[in-house]
Structure 1
Amino acid sequence: MKPPVLTIFLKEMRETLREKRTVGLLLLFTMMYPVMIGVILNQVIDRNTRSEREGIDLAVIGAARAPTLMAQLKQKNITVIDTAPMDEPAIQAKLQEGKVAGVLRLSDKFTDNYTAMRPARVELWYDSAAEKHAQRREIEDVLEAYGANVASARLLAHGVSPATLAPIEVQRYDTGTNASRSAGFIGSMLSMLFFPAFFCGMSAAVDSTAGERERRSLEVLMAQPARAWEIVSGKWLMAAALAVIGLTLELILAHVVLSWIPLEELGMAWSLSWAEVAMVCIVAVPLALLAAALQIALAMNAKSFKEAQSLLSIVLLLPMLPGVVVSMMDLKTSLWMYAVPMLSNQTLLRELSKGVDVGALPFLLTFVSGTLPALAIVAFASWRMKSERYVLAV
């Protein structure tokens, strides 16, 4: 004979899986976010590396007036397109075609001013609405370097060392690794990966409590030889199982996507191993248990199915609060963060993505921080189930 908890668990799971549309939507929402992360990062990588792959086309009006500048542009993989003189409307029309990153126009008096050591005007025309910001920055860097070289040469010609204009020399040494540089950017995106723990089991939790009470099927279930804690535990484990499945699938898919994307193109890295991902999934199980317990307890105390849905929709905002508060206060990672549900999972994954050896204690605290509140809430829900006021929705 099966234990009552297992019987109730299987009964609730069977009824939930019959709703194929609901299950399909849950799977869609679970897989959508990792795929979205992959698409966004791919777009960022493509935008930042496009100039290296395709080169930069620059239309230059009056290129013959500055041969040294043209040579420096070509050294930086910038293709100089010698262009006939154009007025402003013609330049705007050329930029709107999107074939060049900008139009460089040297004034008619460029050579005279350059020879007389007066500022020689160079006009850089560009379209700020076009997605060529990185290419424009490279062109501006060449122009600044050209101006600095000319200034140094003129100082030397007058017997003045260019070092006079640089009283200090700053040397920068970056000790950050690719993983640590990526932690801030990727960590902000990964915090959302744990939300399936809260929305994958929500529908089942509401339907198995407030829904069954409205349909009067809960009275039949309570008439069976099963104690209140067994009924609550069966429903709780069913909702938690859905949350665990959704959360695990999302973490695995996110790991596959981030491992496949060439993050090194952005100076980033995703250094988690499959063993570390498995550990993150294991310590995330109590988070799913806590979410399911909270949803079961709140839905049980709602007077109707609609009230339970509305209440739990608001509760979905609670997991966001710890991460938002920590980011707003700009707090450094501390041991106490691993004792706060949801925040502990986000902090653990962020530190692992940095390549930090966190040790065993953060894993233990993350596991316990979700397990103990979950058991306490289930105990409260079991006590609540014994009340006739609950069954009759009084």
Structure 2
Amino acid sequence: MKGWPAWTVFVKEWVDALRDRRTLAVVLLSSVLMGPLVLIALSGLVASFESRAERREVVLDGIEHAPTLVNYLQRQGFAVKPAPEGFEQKLRRSELGDPVLVVPKDFESALRRAEVPVLVLVSDSANKRSEAGSGRLQRLVAGFNRERSTLALALRGVSGEVLEPVRLGEKDLANPQTRGTQITGMLPFFVLMAVLYGALNAALDTTAGERERGSLEPLLMNPASPLSLVLGKSAAVSAVALLIAVLSCFSFIPAQWLLRSDTLAALFQFGWREALWFVAIIAPFAAALSALLMAVAIRCRSVKEAQASSAVLILAVSLLPLVGLLNPGGEERWHLWVPALAQNTLMTRVLKGEALGLEPVVITLAVCAVLALLGVGFVARVLRRAAVR
């Protein structure tokens, strides 16, 4: 090999990786498009809930027994519909998307006697459409109760304010960008998965794949040192993983244009700035992950064996980002020392509009650099031994 052996190996491996179009197509579909598709599907679900709420309909069973309640609901701008026959079965089968308020026959007479009639709210927690409307019905019944109580007190010359001796105000400390992480908080996970599966196929093919095809031994007969070969291979795998990550990050920008829910569209704040920060944060992790996958696969004699051996690493990268979600205490300092979890933490900070800080960036860079050096060193050592044989 003339010139710089590492560069020559890098170009060769990069061309080979891009030539495998079938694998690239699978990776692109599974890693790059998965996040936007999930967001679009989620926006469709939320949009259906919003459209149902905009219809402002209430379903009552025994509508003829409660003219007072019907009058109140109509004054609130709701259309009152009678419940269909067999509504419980329809709720169970998700054929009915609205909860049903069951009115007893003695509703009006009980109100006149100052008794407390019992209204039954029928819904199915497995039926998400009906479950979403239950809260609205509960608020309407609570408003009806307040109105009846206020009128009863007014007839006795008592102010209705005695029912509310204390008023509660709300103050939300989260800015709009922080509230948006309720939706965009899933993006770091999709980007990490894109890096993982982008590096996986290339790392396994350039190590165990070459050994299985019998092309690794002839490569070692070249005058280039094993370290140069490993550096070129590792750089190519990292470049493939980073390419998939870049496509994944920037795919969320046009995905926003397809959101059907106005609520999600208002909360979803992800632009070019956030995408560029994501790429900068994920690049060192791509290099470290590529080196580790190559270190796992270099001792395997086939791609299938390498896939089985790398299952633990794949599982760790997939589960570590979930630690931040399952930790009720929020972000902790040790999160920055754990790969994948550290990148998820920093990307979440970007989404919240918070400053990353110099120390967290240095820590994550140092950890990724150490892991990359260990992985490259291990692979070079194995190749050196194979060359000696």
TM score, norm. by length of structure 1: 0.84
3-state SS of paired residue (1:16):
helix
Instruction: Return closer, same or farther for 1:277/1:189 CA change in 2, 3 Å cut-off.
Output: closer
Runs of at least 5 residues in structure 2 that lack an aligned partner in the other structure? none
Instruction: Return closer, same or farther for 1:171/1:233 CA change in 2, 3 Å cut-off.
Output: same
Aligned mate of 2:114, from 109, 113, 117: 117
3-state SS of paired residue (2:79):
strand
Mean CA deviation greater in 156-165 or 218-227: 156-165
CA distance in 2: counterparts of 1:196 and 1:123, whole angstroms = 48
Runs of at least 5 residues in structure 1 that lack an aligned partner in the other structure? none
Report if the CA contact (8 A) 2:288-2:372 is conserved: yes
Cα deviation 1:159-198 (Å, max 9, x = unaligned): 5554445454332222222322232453245323212222
3-state SS of paired residue (1:58):
strand
Amino acid at match of 1:71: N
Q: How far apart are 1:347 and its partner, in Å?
A: 0.9
CA distance in 1: counterparts of 2:94 and 2:300, whole angstroms = 61
Instruction: Return closer, same or farther for 1:127/1:89 CA change in 2, 3 Å cut-off.
Output: farther
> After superposition, where does 1:233-312 map in structure 2 within 5 Å?
233-258=231-256, 261=259, 265=263, 269-312=267-310
Aligned mate of 1:187, from 160, 185, 188: 185
CA distance in 2: counterparts of 1:391 and 1:6, whole angstroms = 23
> After superposition, where does 1:55-204 map in structure 2 within 5 Å?
55-59=56-60, 61-63=62-64, 65-67=66-68, 69-81=69-81, 92=88, 98=95, 101-104=98-101, 106-126=103-123, 130=127, 131-188=129-186, 190-204=188-202
CA distance in 1: counterparts of 2:323 and 2:134, whole angstroms = 38
Residue number in structure 2 paired with 1:27:
28
* Percent of residue pairs bearing the same amino acid type: 23
Residue number in structure 1 paired with 2:223:
225
Cα deviation 1:220-243 (Å, max 9, x = unaligned): 111112111111111111211111
CA distance in 2: counterparts of 1:39 and 1:51, whole angstroms = 18
Residue number in structure 2 paired with 1:17:
18
Instruction: Return closer, same or farther for 1:203/1:154 CA change in 2, 3 Å cut-off.
Output: same
Report if the CA contact (8 A) 1:59-1:100 is conserved: no
Mean CA deviation greater in 324-333 or 249-258: 324-333
CA distance in 2: counterparts of 1:94 and 1:338, whole angstroms = 50
Q: How far apart are 1:151 and its partner, in Å?
A: 2.0
3-state SS of paired residue (2:114):
coil
CA distance in 2: counterparts of 1:255 and 1:161, whole angstroms = 55
Instruction: Return closer, same or farther for 1:205/1:283 CA change in 2, 3 Å cut-off.
Output: same
Q: How far apart are 1:114 and its partner, in Å?
A: 1.9
Q: How far apart are 1:99 and its partner, in Å?
A: 6.6
Cα deviation 1:29-56 (Å, max 9, x = unaligned): 1223213322332134213312343332
Number of paired residues? 386
Mean CA deviation greater in 127-136 or 97-106: 97-106
3-state SS of paired residue (1:284):
helix
Q: How far apart are 1:27 and its partner, in Å?
A: 1.4
Report if the CA contact (8 A) 1:299-1:308 is conserved: yes
Q: How far apart are 1:316 and its partner, in Å?
A: 0.5
Residue number in structure 2 paired with 1:354:
352
Mean CA deviation greater in 179-188 or 343-352: 179-188
CA distance in 2: counterparts of 1:372 and 1:102, whole angstroms = 57
Report if the CA contact (8 A) 1:187-1:350 is conserved: yes
Residue number in structure 1 paired with 2:369:
371
Report if the CA contact (8 A) 1:263-1:269 is conserved: no
Instruction: Return closer, same or farther for 1:129/1:13 CA change in 2, 3 Å cut-off.
Output: closer
Q: How far apart are 1:391 and its partner, in Å?
A: 7.3
RMSD: 3.2
Q: How far apart are 1:253 and its partner, in Å?
A: 0.9
Amino acid at match of 1:246: I
CA distance in 2: counterparts of 1:99 and 1:294, whole angstroms = 52
Amino acid at match of 1:179: Q
3-state SS of paired residue (1:357):
coil
TM score, norm. by length of structure 2: 0.85
Residue number in structure 2 paired with 1:45:
46
